Amino acid sequence: MKIGILGNGQLGQMLADSVTDLTDLEIRLYDLRAHSDDALETFIAGVDLLGYETENIPAHIVAKLEAHADKLFPSLTALKTFQNRLLEKNALRAAGIQTADFCAVNSLEDVHNAVETLGLPIVLKTTTEGYDGKGQYVLRQPEDAEPAWEAIGNRELIAEAFVTFSRETSVIASRDRNGNLVVWPMTENVHHEGILRYSLFPADGLSADKAEQAERYIRQLADSLDYVGTITLELFDTDSGLVANEVAPRVHNSGHWSIEGAEASQFRNHILAMAGKALEPTTARYPAVAMLNVIGDETPAVKAESTANAHRHSYGKEARPARKLGHVTVVADSVAERDQTITELSELMPSGVWPPQAH
């Protein structure tokens, strides 16, 4: 079976690497940056199934997928829903999942109305294409409305009420064609300047009730869309429970720890789900695991190669500020050992990012 993935970045490569032992599967990657209509049609014609490493696919390419929707996993409906933050929020609400209050914004007047309706502060975001903190503006006072619209406006936006939370977490699951779902243990995720810096398993002090709520949420969401593949739900941890932030209809940065840290990785189960094969266990292999992103400069990651319980992954990218160049997975027999290793590798992170704040 030939499976084509739209995108040949690190996620596409890790998807391909996850099933090299399965000789009946062949993974082919399509370079979206070198797209032409003829090249895309040739690529699609040469595969049995079609997937994507990112939801940020240009509209003219998505239009070309309409004729091939029967072999696209996750579905075209899922792709279109999670390409747009307004559609995404509505889908979350429809699935019975709590989100921040929100409203659509298409003009400066709408920004003022959002401030009046939602209160301050609010987060203004582009509905499409924003990631890693891009396309966002936090309004803290009414005078911020015009600068915000000038900065990211003149296009469809979403205004979201601010959520008071203690930390960010994520839950990742894979769902097969028969509706079977497997869920990875949750992680605590720490961001800096809008970019994920590291993810920790276990998430310190996460209650059984909140873990169950997260699993219930992601099951409700996946079932509501008859979703096939790996899906990620980012969540705010609040005093009153978990509140959904964003969805990724794909494998996710916060799940990279699963390559070495879980029985089956998020990448492997994504491909297995697409191919109609049985999903594999998501149990953690170690009592404690961490994923550290390598951003802007790979030099600090070299130390991981001589660290016994660390695994370095380089994406082979040219270095530039704020660019994800790779990641390091730390596996450990205890949280204390994990945290000591992270401390030894803390040059990977900006000052003040490690250790995490107490909850």
- Measured between alpha carbons, how far is 67 from 233 in angstroms, rounded to an integer? 29
The count of C-alpha atoms lying within 13 angstroms of the C-alpha of 248, restricted to the half-sphere facing its C-beta, is 24
Q: What confidence score (pLDDT) does residue 178 get? A: 97
Q: Render pLDDT for 38-78 as a digit per residue (tens, 0 to 9).
A: 999 999 999 999 999 999 999 999 999 999 999 999 999 99
Going by DSSP bridges, is the β-strand pair 49-52/2-6 parallel, antiparallel, or unpaired? Answer: parallel
Which domains occur in the chain, in start order?
Answer: 2-83 (3.40.50.20), 101-161 (3.30.1490.20), 167-348 (3.30.470.20)
Would you tell me how many other CB atoms lie within 10 Å of the CB of residue 156? 15
- Decide if 46 contacts 2 (C-beta within 8 A): yes
Q: Residue 185: CB partners within 8 Å, gap ≥ 6? A: 201, 202, 262, 282, 284
Q: What is the mean pLDDT of the chain?
A: 96
Going by DSSP bridges, is the β-strand pair 2-6/26-30 parallel, antiparallel, or unpaired? Answer: parallel
Would you tell me how many other CB atoms lie within 10 Å of the CB of residue 2? 12
pTM: 0.95
Q: Residue 210: CB partners within 8 Å, gap ≥ 6? A: 237, 241, 242
Q: Render pLDDT for 221-271 as a digit per residue (tens, 0 to 9).
A: 999 999 999 999 999 999 999 999 999 999 999 999 999 999 999 999 999
Q: What share of the chain has pLDDT > 90, as a percent?
A: 95
Q: What confidence score (pLDDT) does residue 357 get? A: 80
